Amino acid sequence: MEAGSVRSRLMAGAMLVLSATRAFAADEPSRLDQVVERKVLNVCTTGDYRPFSYRPDGANDFVGIDIDLGRSLAKSLDAEAVFVQTKWSNLMPDFKAKCDIAMSGISVTLPRQREAFFSEMYLVNGKAPIVRCDEVAKYQTTDAINQPSTRVVVNPGGTNEKFARANLAKAQIQLFPDNRVIWREIAENRADVMVAESVEVKLQETLHPGLCAVNPDRPLQYGEMGFLLPRGDAVFKAYVDQWLHLAKATGEFDRIVGANMK
Residue of 181, 206, 207 lying closest to 194 (CA atoms): 181
Distance, C-alpha 136 to centroid of its chain: 26
Strands 117-118 and 224-229: antiparallel
Contact residues for 92 (Cβ-Cβ < 8 A; gap 6+): 112, 115, 116, 228
CATH superfamily to which 31-122+226-261 belongs: Periplasmic binding protein-like II (3.40.190.10)
Domain boundaries, the chain: 31-122+226-261, 125-223
Residues 31-42: b if buried by 16+ CB within 10 A, e if exposed: bbebbeeeeebb
Task: Supply the pLDDT for residue 18.
Answer: 53
Q: CA-CA distance, 12 to 137, in Å (whole number)?
A: 53
Task: Supply the pLDDT for residue 22.
Answer: 52
Tens of pLDDT along the chain (262 residues)?
A: 444 554 454 454 445 445 545 545 556 799 999 999 999 999 999 999 999 999 988 788 999 999 999 999 999 999 999 999 999 999 999 999 999 999 999 999 999 999 999 999 999 989 999 999 999 999 999 999 999 999 999 999 989 999 999 999 999 999 999 999 999 999 999 999 999 999 999 999 999 999 999 999 999 999 999 999 999 999 999 999 999 999 999 999 999 999 998 8
Q: Are 106 and 226 in contact (CB under 8 A)?
A: yes
Task: Supply the pLDDT for residue 9.
Answer: 46
Task: Supply the pLDDT for residue 60.
Answer: 86
CATH superfamily to which 125-223 belongs: Periplasmic binding protein-like II (3.40.190.10)
Q: CA-CA distance, 63 to 56, in Å (whole number)?
A: 9
Counted residue by residue, the chain has a size of 262
Q: CA-CA distance, 41 to 140, in Å (whole number)?
A: 42
Task: Supply the pLDDT for residue 8.
Answer: 52
Q: What is the DSSP string of 46-62?
A: -SEETTTEE--TT-SS-
- What's this model's pTM, rounded to 2 decimal places? 0.79
Q: CA-CA distance, 127 to 49, in Å (whole number)?
A: 14
- Tell me, yes or no, if the two domains 31-122+226-261 and 125-223 fold the same way: yes
